[in-house]
DNA sequence: AACAGAATCAACCGCAGAGCA
DNA sequence: TTGCTCTGCGGTTGATTCTGT
């Protein structure tokens, strides 16, 4: 005998959620925590099925969700992860904790797929129109393939690149996995994005944050996390820029050949796309090439390592997000390189943090909100989802 | 200003795996 | 072991918004 049916199909409301429904759902989850979705509609009186409630919560109401424009960093991470994991949006989303799988999926389908297709057409102008047969799950793969299929030498080069990428990215992923895993149980999840992304709900729930226990600690960690996040993004972006600059001023020992080859790739691309008419396209090519570089992926690993060390630096002993269990596996030479890059950049990270750009108005508002003290323990933050 | 087509994204649908009775 | 529900995921849809004419 199984369980009783989760919800009647009759009388179930569909379509967009109203603010009132959001309020009811958020209030309920505030009191009871997420989970046990089957009981949510009956206990709240919402005429929604449990599935719809869960979806609404995870994709919209859940604290910590960032909405709106994707940063270049996020974009690159999505493309890289998609190439590695395929259309595993939930898995990809786990590396972008502030984004939902739905959001990432939508962004991929509406933006990135087009960009990749466009880039494909740059590589194969004579195939214009035929690339439409490529589906989203393989678009990055075909992109990568484009590099390798045309020129044997480039193929070998790309093979090496992929090895480098996978090594570095796996490192990045494994360290991030532990980070994500531990942050799930930590109490330092930022509440900033929640306020910024669902301000309507936040207003509806005014007083929630201000009456919940533990807010002081959270506010500290929130403030610091905001800074940390800014730093992380800056570092990675700077890293990418640096890596591009390093094409001309190679500073990574052992990368000379790769850099030379990359320039060769670039030249070939230029020849192939000689009919393309504007800087936009060449910029796109640069952009996508940067996605394929070892340095790019390396920087992700560096960024991850930095962020963990940064986190301890910034959080100090008070609100450290989670002891980042750095895996101490035997490292390959490539990983050694990644490590050395990371270490050498560590100091720069701290400096970066000290040179934070001024907070935006919203951030300021949020900081004020956070330092208004208020914060106590948010029931949400103890939930496994966060 | 009005319309059409394109773009966006919240929400739905159906499936699969895990867990429970 | 079986049959059922719950939960999560990926693909798709359709309403809304944006943009160009």
Q: Which of A's residues 105-134 have CB atoms within 7 A of nucleic strand B?
A: 105-107, 109-111, 114
Check: CB of residue A109 under 8 Å from CB of residue A136: yes
Query: Are domains A12-63 and A67-122 of this chain identical in fold?
Result: yes
Q: Could you tell me the distance in Å between the CA of residue A260 and the C1' of nucleotide C7?
A: 50
State residue A290's pLDDT score: 60
Measured from the CB, is A2 under 7 Å from any atom of strand B? yes
Which residues does residue A376 pair with via DSSP β-bridges, in sequence order? A214
Q: Could you tell me the distance in Å between the CA of residue A255 and the C1' of nucleotide C14?
A: 50
User: Nearest nucleotide to A51 by CA–C1' distance?
Assistant: C7
Measured from the CB, is A185 under 7 Å from any atom of strand C? no
| Lookup result for tokens 């309020």 | A23
Distance from C-alpha of A374 to C-alpha of A215, rounded to nearest angstrom: 5
Q: What is the model's pTM?
A: 0.52
Q: Could you tell me the distance in Å between the CA of residue A37 and the C1' of nucleotide C16?
A: 29
Counting as low any pLDDT under 50, the low residues of chain A are 1-8, 128-168, 172-204, 206-281, 294-386
Using alpha carbons, select from A55, A54, A41, A48 the residue that is nearest to residue A12: A48
**Among the residues of chain A, which ranges form H helices?**
19-32, 39-44, 50-56, 72-85, 89-94, 101-107, 113-123, 139-150, 152-185, 192-197, 199-204, 208-211, 215-245, 256-272, 279-292, 294-315, 333-354, 361-371
Measured from the CB, is A5 under 7 Å from any atom of strand B? no
CATH number of A12-63: 1.10.10.60
Measured from the CB, is A48 under 7 Å from any atom of strand C? no
CATH number of A67-122: 1.10.10.60
Side-chain-facing half-sphere of A165: CA atoms under 13 Å: 20
Query: Can you give the residue ranges of every domain in chain A?
Result: 12-63, 67-122
Which nucleotides in chain B have some atom under 7 angstroms from a protein Cβ?
Answer: 7-14, 19-21
């Amino acid at each position: 005998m199984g369980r009783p049916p989760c919800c009647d199909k009759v009388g179930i409301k569909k379509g967009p959620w109203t603010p009132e429904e959001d309020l009811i759902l958020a209030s309920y989850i505030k009191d009871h925590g997420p989970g046990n979705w089957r009981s949510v509609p009956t206990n709240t009186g919402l005429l929604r099925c449990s599935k719809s409630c869960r979806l609404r919560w995870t994709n919209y109401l859940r604290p910590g969700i960032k909405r709106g424009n994707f940063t270049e960093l996020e974009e690159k991470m999505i493309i890289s992860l998609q190439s590695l994991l395929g259309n595993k949006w939930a898995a990809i989303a786990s590396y972008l904790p502030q984004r939902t799988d739905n959001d990432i999926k939508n962004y991929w389908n509406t933006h990135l797929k087009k960009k990749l297709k466009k880039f494909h057409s740059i590589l194969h102008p004579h195939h214009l129109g035929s690339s439409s047969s490529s589906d989203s799950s393989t678009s990055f793969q075909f992109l990568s393939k484009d590099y390798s299929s045309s020129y044997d030498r480039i193929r070998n080069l790309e093979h090496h690149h992929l090895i480098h990428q996978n090594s570095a990215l796996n490192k990045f992923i494994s360290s991030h996995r532990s980070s994500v895993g531990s942050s799930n149980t930590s109490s330092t999840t930022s509440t900033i994005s929640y306020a910024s992304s669902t301000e309507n709900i936040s207003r509806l729930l005014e007083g929630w944050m201000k009456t919940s226990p533990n807010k002081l600690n959270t506010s500290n960690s929130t403030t610091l996390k905001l800074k940390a996040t800014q730093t992380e993004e800056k570092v990675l972006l700077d890293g990418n820029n640096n890596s591009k600059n390093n094409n001309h001023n190679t500073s990574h020992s052992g990368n000379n050949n790769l850099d030379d080859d990359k320039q060769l790739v670039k030249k070939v691309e230029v020849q192939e796309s000689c009919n393309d008419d504007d800087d936009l396209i060449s910029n796109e090519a640069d952009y996508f090439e940067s996605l394929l570089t070892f340095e790019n992926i390396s920087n992700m690993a560096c960024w991850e390592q930095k962020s963990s060390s940064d986190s301890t630096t910034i959080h100090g002993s008070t609100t450290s997000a989670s002891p980042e269990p750095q895996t101490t596996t035997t490292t390959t030479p490539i990983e050694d390189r990644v490590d050395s890059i990371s270490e050498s950049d560590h100091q720069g990270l701290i400096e970066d943090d000290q040179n934070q750009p001024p907070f935006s108005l919203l951030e300021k508002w949020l900081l004020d909100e956070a330092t208004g003290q208020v914060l106590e323990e948010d029931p949400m933050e103890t939930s496994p989802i966060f």
